[in-house]
């Protein structure tokens, strides 16, 4: 359709079993309204395509990429090949790289292209009760695209789930509600000041959006990304349980901490600091679930 909005997507992940019921195909959108210091997908923070460099794939002595960079952002060495301060992420060097050491993260998709790609997995959806999950980043920030794509997905018979952090004006998602079967809504930290410290933004709008979805009788599953030392203390457990109790939410899904995002930072030239945390033990999660249970909230991993 001429003039129809496209979306910037950085991955289409198949055979997921942790992002909604059944076997899912997860579409990852670029751009986010938060800047969580533990973000599992740092390549999703920026809304536009960006260059990533994998030095272990780079062929020693190869200089094929150097001649096409108009910004003088590439150096003839394997380590530190990209000057990210100069790079404009145009992607010209990616086309010249013979080993995929250079990769442009994020491509534009039309609604029709994405639907065709997702529907390749329909046999797995039908056999497992699965479907499509939109993730990111924050899918809601590309709501104009979703306004075109979601009716197509539902008319194709797909179950649609949306993973969201809720950091946007509710008007972005209000026209989409009829097309979404399940909202996977992440809460990070209950205290507004700490939320701002760890994510760059207070949580009043987020909590307001969660309340609106519940008031409108949307199907919502509330989740908490577990980050040891950030949101696992007794005070946050108590305040989160109190908050969800007021909203009538009886349960909380705990999303286990994964430290593998830290390896992505140097590939993107990111200035973010690795936390150096390692995944907690099974006993840690059992204790955390018990802590929530003491406040009347069922928490499960």
Q: What is the pLDDT of residues 205-232, one digit of tens each?
A: 999 999 999 999 999 999 999 999 999 9
Q: What is the pLDDT of residue 268?
A: 96
Res. 2: pLDDT tops 50: no
Nearest to 223, CA basis, from 249, 199, 205:
249
Cβ–Cβ under 8 Å, residues 121 and 162: no
Nearest to 166, CA basis, from 110, 123, 119, 204:
204
Measure the N-to-C terminal CA separation of the chain; round to a whole number of Å.
43
Of all residues in the chain, what percent carry a pLDDT higher than 90?
95
Nearest to 213, CA basis, from 173, 159, 153:
173
pLDDT tens for residues 146-164?
A: 999 999 999 999 999 999 9
Q: What is the pLDDT of residue 1?
A: 39
DSSP 281: P
Of all residues in the chain, what percent carry a pLDDT higher than 70?
99
Nearest to 213, CA basis, from 226, 202, 203, 222:
222
Tell me the residue ranges of DSSP E strands in 160-239: 160-164, 182-186, 220-225
pLDDT tens for residues 39-56?
A: 999 999 999 999 999 999
| CA pair distance 35, 31, nearest whole angstrom | 10
User: In 10 A of CB 290, how many CB atoms?
Assistant: 10
Tokens of 121: 């997995």
Tokens of 162: 């949306």
Res. 37: pLDDT tops 60: yes
3-state helix, strand, coil split of the chain in percent (to 5) is 40, 20, 45
Q: What is the pLDDT of residue 5?
A: 78
Tokens of 238: 């108590």
What domains can be seen in the chain, in order of their start residue? 7-47+107-262+274-300 (3.20.20.70), 50-105 (3.30.70.20)
Mean pLDDT, residues 73-94: 93
Q: What is the pLDDT of residue 3?
A: 53
């Amino acid at each position: 359709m001429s003039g129809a909005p496209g979306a910037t997507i950085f991955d289409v992940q198949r055979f997921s079993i942790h992002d909604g019921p059944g076997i899912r195909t997860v579409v990852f959108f670029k751009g986010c309204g938060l800047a969580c210091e533990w973000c599992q997908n740092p390549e999703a923070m920026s809304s536009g395509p960006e260059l990533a460099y994998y030095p272990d794939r780079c062929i020693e002595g190869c200089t094929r990429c150097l001649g096409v960079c108009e910004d003088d952002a590439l150096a003839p060495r394997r380590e530190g090949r990209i000057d990210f301060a100069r790079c404009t992420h145009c992607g010209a060097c990616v086309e010249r790289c013979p080993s995929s050491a250079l990769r442009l993260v994020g491509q534009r998709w039309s609604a029709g292209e994405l639907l065709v790609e997702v529907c390749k997995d329909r046999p797995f959806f039908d056999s497992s009760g699965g479907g499509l999950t939109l993730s990111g980043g924050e899918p809601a920030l590309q709501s104009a695209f979703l306004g075109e794509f979601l009716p197509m997905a539902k008319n194709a018979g797909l179950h649609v789930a949306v993973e969201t952090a809720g950091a946007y004006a509710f008007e972005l998602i209000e026209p989409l509600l009829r097309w979404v079967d399940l909202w996977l809504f992440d809460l990070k930290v209950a205290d507004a000041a700490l939320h701002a410290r760890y994510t760059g933004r207070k949580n009043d709008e987020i909590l307001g959006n969660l309340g609106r979805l519940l008031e409108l009788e949307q199907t919502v599953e509330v989740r908490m990304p577990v980050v040891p030392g950030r949101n696992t203390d007794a005070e946050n457990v108590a305040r989160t349980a109190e908050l969800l109790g007021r909203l009538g939410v009886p349960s909380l899904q705990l999303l286990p901490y994964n430290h593998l995002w830290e390896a992505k930072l140097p590939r993107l030239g990111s200035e973010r600091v690795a936390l150096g945390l390692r995944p907690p033990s099974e006993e840690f999660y059992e204790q955390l679930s018990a802590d929530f249970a003491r406040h009347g909230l069922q928490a499960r991993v």
